[in-house]
Chains A and B, each alone.
Chain A
Amino acid sequence: MFNEMTMDDQVREPYRALVDWMEANGPEVLEQKRLEAETLFRKIGITFAVYGEGGDPERLIPFDLIPRIFTSSEWRKLDRGVKQRARALNTFLYDVYHNAEIIKAGIIPADLVFKNDAFEPAVIGIDPPRKVYSHIVGVDIVRTGPEDFYVLEDNCRTPSGVSYMLENREIMMRMFPELFKNLRIEPVESYPDMLLKTLKSIAPPKCDRDPNIVVLTPGAMNSAYYEHSFLADQMGVELVEGQDLFVSEDRVYMRTTRGPARVDVIYRRIDDAYIDPLCFRPDSVLGVPGLMNVYRSGGVAICSAPGAGVADDKAVYTYVPDMIRFYLGQEPILNNVPTWKCGKSDDLKYVLEHLGELVVKEVHGSGGYGMLVGPASTKAEQAAYAERIKADPGDFIAQPTLALSACPTFVESGIAPRHVDFRPFCLVGDDIRLTPGGLTRVALREGSLVVNSSQGGGVKDTWIMSD
C-alpha cells in the first residue's frame, strides 16, 4: 500500500515541512488545533445529511486536520488528465445527441447509450450554448503508487463537495498560518469567481444583457443544501427553489418583491427527472413547469444541461479512454480502473467466480450505496449479491480491489494511515478551468475503502505545492 506521507521510511518531499511542524509542536498542540477546528465547523454550520439513516439532518461531516499534499509535477499530470477527460466527455455528449459518430464508428454499443436511463431523448438535436453539457466535471481519482493514478468515476451532473474544498482551506489557514506563510501552497479561493465566469459564458442565445444567474436547489432538506447556499452566496446570485420560478411567454422568471425578474442561466442542483414536470416526472414539485420549452428555444441556459448524465454512467465510463482517442486523437493521460462489465457473459462468469476479490457496483448507483466490497464481505453477503447480479447482469460492473493510497489521519488511537481518494472540480464553458486543489475524502474506518461521506467518510484539505 502506498503511503502518501512516507516511502521507504523517509518522509516524502512535499510532506517534509508539515512533518517538521508536527514534530516541533507535539501532539498536544495538534489535538488543541483539532478541537478548535471542530468548533469552527459547528459555528459555521457546515453540515451533510445522510439519507436513510434518520437522526440529525444537519450532521457534521468529519474534517481531518492533516492535509493531503501533491507536488507541482504530480498536479501538472492530474491537471492535464482531468481537462482532457472533461473535454472528451463534453464532445461525447454533443455527439450522442446529434450525429452519434462514435456509435456509427462502432466504438460504443448503441444500446448502451440510447437505452440508457440517463439518455434524454427530449434534448436530441438541441445545441446548448458553446455545445457544453457538463459545465462542472468532478473526476474521482485514486492512487496506488508514486506514479499510479486511476480514475474511479466521472461526475458530469452536479458533483458536490466543492464547498468543503473551500471551507476546509479557510479553516486550515486559520489553524496553521505559519505553514501557509512559509510554504507555497496554491490558493483555491478563486473557484466561485471561476464558476461565475463559466456560468456567464454560457448565457443563452436570446440573452442580450449581463445574464441573470440563479442556483436552483431542491430546498433545505437536501443533503447538499449547505453547499447550494454557500455557492450562491459566494457568487452573489439568488438561491431559488422551483416554486420561485415560472415560465411566461418563452422566458423564465423568478418571483421577487418588485415583480417578475427574468432569469438567463440556471445552475441547477436537482436531477433531470425533476426539473420540469411537463417534460419529465409529472409528480415533481421541485421543478418549473415549461422550463424545457424555454430551454429548447434558447431562452434559458441550464447547467448541467439536461441529458448530461449519460456520460457519467458507470457502464459508459469504461469507454472514456476510447472517447479520448476517438475525439481528441490523444492517448489518455489518466487511466481507468480495469473494469468487468457483467453484461458481457465472459466478464459475468469471471465476476461471479471472483466476488471475494472484487468491488461490484450498480451501474446507476452513486454515493457508495448498494455496492459489494468483496474482501470485506461475508460469504452470505456475496451469495445474496450474486443473485442480484444474475437477475440483471447489465446493471453491474466490477473492478479489482485497488490498494488505495493512505494518508495519515487523526483517529481515536492517535494518528494512523487511512485510505483516501481525490475529486478535483473542472469547469467547462468558454474555457476549461481547473482550480489547483480539490476534495480529498478519507475512509475513517480502519481498512475501509469507502470514502463517501454518507458511509462514514471524512474530508481533508488538499495542498498543491507551487514551484
Chain B
Amino acid sequence: MLSRTADNLFWLSRYVERAENMARLMEMGYRMALMPAVGDGNRSEWESVLSASGCMAGYDPDAPLRQEEVANYLIFNRDNPSSIINCFEYARANARAMRTAITAEMWEALNNALMELRRPSMHNLAKNELPEFIDWVKKQGALFRGATDSTILRNDGYDFIRLGTFIERADNTARLLDVKYYVLLPETSMVGDGVDNYQWTTVLRAASSLRAFHWVYRDDYSPHRIAHFLILNPFSPRSLAHCAEQITQHLERLARHYGQRHPVHGQAVEMYSLLTQSEMDEIFSTGLHEFLNDFQARNGALSNAIADAYYFGGQ
C-alpha cells in the first residue's frame, strides 16, 4: 500500500473520531452546566471544555465563555482546526484523495455527514438543541464505523484505519477525564460530595458508559471506580487500556502481514503494559492529571512512531 494512502486512512479515522469526541466533550460541559453553582470553580464548565479540547489557545480571549459562543467555536469555526465541521471536511478530503482505498459505503457516510453539516439549519439545531446536535454527530461517527466494519477488506488498510480510531479515542478519553480535573474544586472538602459525584457520572455519560458501568461494578458511582472504568478496565470500549490493547493488536497484525518489526511495536507494548500493571490507588496518589498528561505524551509519540515506521517506507 502507498504510504500516503496509509497516512490518509489513519488520519481519516482520527478526524471522524475527533469530531465525535468534540461532541462528547460538549455533552459533558452541557450537563455539568445544568448543576446549580457551588462556588466559583463550578462556573467554568465551558472554559474547561475548551481547555480539555486543546482549543483554548485559538479562542478569542475577549469572547464570553458561554455555551453559545464556545459551542459555536467548537462546531462551526473554520479557523479552529479541530472544529467538528473541519474534522468532517478534512476526513472527506482525505477520503477523496484515495477514493479507491475506501468503500462506497464509507464514502457515502462521510459525504452525507458533511453535506448535512454544511446546511444552515444545522447552525440553528446546534444553537437551540445542543443535545440533539450532539446525538447527530455521534450517529455520524457510528455510521462511518459501521460502514467500515461491514464493508472494508481486512487488509493493512483496515489496520491503519483502526490505529487512527484508537489513537484518537485514547487521546480523547484522557481529555474527557481531564475536564473533570479542570472543573474540580480547589477545596478538597468538596471532593466526594454530591456535586463531585454528579460530575463524575457526567464523565461516564459522555463516554456512553453509564449503563455499562452498572453491569461491570454493580455498585455506586465512586470516582475511584469511574476512573478505573475509563482508564484501566480492558472491557470498557473507550478505556485507555482497551485502546492500547487494540493499538497493540493492529500493530502486531501489520508486523505479521509485512514480516517487519519497527521501534513502534516496542513502544506500543510498553504503553499497554503500563495500563495493565497500574493500580488506581497509585494513579490517584501520584496525581490523576499528571498520569493523564504522561499518557497523552506517550500516545502522541506512538502516533509519530507509526508515521516513522510506515509512511516513509522505512527509509
Seen from chain A, the residues whose Cβ lies within 8 Å of a Cβ on chain B are 43, 45, 219-220, 225, 229, 232-233, 238-241, 243-244, 254-260
Please name the residue on chain B nearest to A238 by beta carbon. B2
Partner of B96, one of A43, A220, A232, A258: A220
**CB proximity to A under 8 Å, residues B99-123:** 99-100, 107-108, 111
B312 at the interface (CB under 8 A from A): yes
CB-CB under 8 A for A45 and B107, given A257-B313, A260-B313: yes
Residue in B closest to A257 when the chains form the complex, CB atoms: B310
Report the bound CA distance from A43 to B104 in whole Å.
Answer: 9
Known: A43-B108, A238-B2, A241-B4. A255 touches B312 (CB 8 A): yes
Q: Are A219 and B315 in contact (CB under 8 A)?
A: no
Contact with A along B298-315 (1 / 0, CB 8 A): 000000000000111111
How many residues on B have C-beta within 8 angstroms of the other chain's C-beta atoms?
Answer: 25
B215 within 8 A of A: no
Bound Cα distance A73, B311 (Å)? 54
| Closest residue of A by beta carbon distance from B310 | A257
Given known A-B contacts A232-B100, A239-B100, A259 and B315 have beta carbons under 8 A apart: yes
Instruction: List 25 A-B residue pairs with CB atoms under 8 Å apart, sorted by A's residue number.
Output: A43-B108, A219-B97, A220-B93, A232-B100, A238-B2, A239-B98, A239-B100, A240-B4, A244-B3, A244-B4, A254-B2, A255-B4, A255-B315, A256-B313, A257-B1, A257-B6, A257-B156, A257-B258, A257-B311, A258-B1, A258-B258, A258-B314, A259-B260, A259-B313, A260-B313
Query: Which residues of chain A come closer than 8 Å to B100, judged between CB atoms?
Result: 229, 232-233, 239
Chain A residues whose CB sits within 8 angstroms of the CB of B311 once the complex forms: 255, 257
Known contacts A241-B4, A243-B4, A244-B3: does B313 contact A255 (CB below 8 Å)? yes
Q: Is the CB of A220 within 8 A of B97?
A: yes
Majority-rule SS of B interface residues: helix
Residues from chain B with Cβ under 8 Å of A255 in the complex: 2-4, 311-313, 315
- Inter-subunit contact A240/B2 (CB<8 Å): yes
Min CB gap B140→A, angstroms:
18
A2 to B85, CA, bound (A): 52
Chain B residues with Cβ below 8 Å from A232 are: 100
Q: Is the CB of B3 within 8 A of A229?
A: no
Chain A hits for B315, CB < 8 A = 255, 259-260
Residues of chain B lying within 8 A (CB to CB) of residue A258: 1, 258, 260, 313-314
- Smallest CB separation, B119 vs chain A (Å): 15
Asked whether B93 lies within 8 Å of A256 as measured between CB atoms, the reply is: no
Contacts of B4 in A (CB 8 A): 240-241, 243-244, 255
Q: Give the residue name and chain of the A residue nearest to B159 (CB).
A: A257
* Interchain residue pairs A-B with the least CB separation, the first 8: A255-B313, A255-B3, A233-B100, A257-B310, A259-B313, A220-B97, A259-B314, A229-B99
Residue of B nearest to A236 (CB): B100
Q: How far is the CB of B269 from chain A (nearest CB, A)?
A: 20
Contact A244 B97, beta carbon cutoff 8 Å? no
Given contact pairs A225-B96, A240-B2, A240-B4, a sample of 10 additional A-B residue pairs in the complex whose CB atoms are under 8 Å apart: A45-B107, A220-B93, A244-B2, A255-B2, A255-B4, A256-B1, A256-B2, A256-B313, A258-B260, A258-B314
Chain B 252-265, CB within 8 Å of chain A: the 1/0 string? Answer: 00100010100000
Residues of chain A with a CB closer than 8 A to B312's CB: 255
List, in ascending order, chain B residues with CB within 8 A of A225's CB.
96
| Cβ contacts under 8 Å, A243 to chain B | 4
Q: Which residue of chain A is the closest to B107 with respect to CB atoms?
A: A45
